[in-house]
């Protein structure tokens, strides 16, 4: 694989707002940002982003935290547990997890857990599914929830 060309393509998907779209010029989206940041990390090319670019990207990601404590994938959308994986993992790769309220996010994820069957839904009160259960557990892990004493 031509890693330099692959990294060049990923970087061409970066937008003026700091995020990444799925192709050059496409709207920034948190899931796509994870894919781009993850790909750059695997290729050892995160360093191709200057510090100001990383800060702008992480600001965009941190701005996805809603009043509920959950995270959304794009501006003006509802919070969804799945973004606790997509966003927090990208912030972790970039060393900026502290830019969000981990406590508020943890509360949001736990509010999405069904008291009867234990699964996690996209939002409080909705039906749980394995997709959101996986992403909710992953998000809790990334914010250190399982490392807390007590």
27 vs 101: CA distance, rounded Å: 25
pLDDT, one tens digit for every residue, the chain (150 residues): 999 999 999 999 999 999 999 999 999 999 999 999 999 999 999 999 999 999 999 999 999 999 999 999 999 999 999 999 999 999 999 999 999 999 999 999 999 999 999 999 999 999 999 999 999 999 999 999 999 765
Three-state DSSP at 39 gives helix
CA proximity to 61, closest of 112, 23, 9, 15: 15
What is the pLDDT at residue 132? 98
What is the pLDDT at residue 3? 97
What is the pLDDT at residue 57? 98
Q: Active-site residues: which are they?
A: 29, 74, 77, 80, 82-83, 122, 129, 132
Token look-up 């959950």 returns 70
Helix (H) or strand (E) holding 23: none
What is the pLDDT at residue 149? 63
């Amino acid at each position: 694989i031509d890693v330099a060309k692959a990294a060049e393509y990923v970087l061409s998907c970066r937008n003026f707002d700091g995020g990444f779209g799925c192709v050059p010029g496409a709207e920034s989206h948190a899931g796509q940002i994870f894919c781009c940041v993850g790909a750059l990390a695997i290729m050892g090319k995160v360093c191709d982003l200057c510090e100001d670019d990383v800060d702008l990207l992480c600001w965009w990601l941190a701005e996805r935290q809603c009043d509920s404590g959950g995270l959304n994938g794009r501006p003006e959308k509802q919070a969804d547990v799945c973004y606790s994986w997509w966003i927090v993992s990208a912030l972790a790769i970039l060393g900026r997890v502290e830019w969000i309220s981990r406590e508020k996010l943890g509360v949001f994820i736990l509010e999405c857990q069904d008291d009867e069957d234990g699964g996690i839904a996209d939002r409080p009160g909705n039906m749980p599914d394995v997709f959101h259960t996986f992403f909710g557990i992953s998000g809790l892990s990334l914010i250190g929830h399982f490392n807390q004493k007590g």
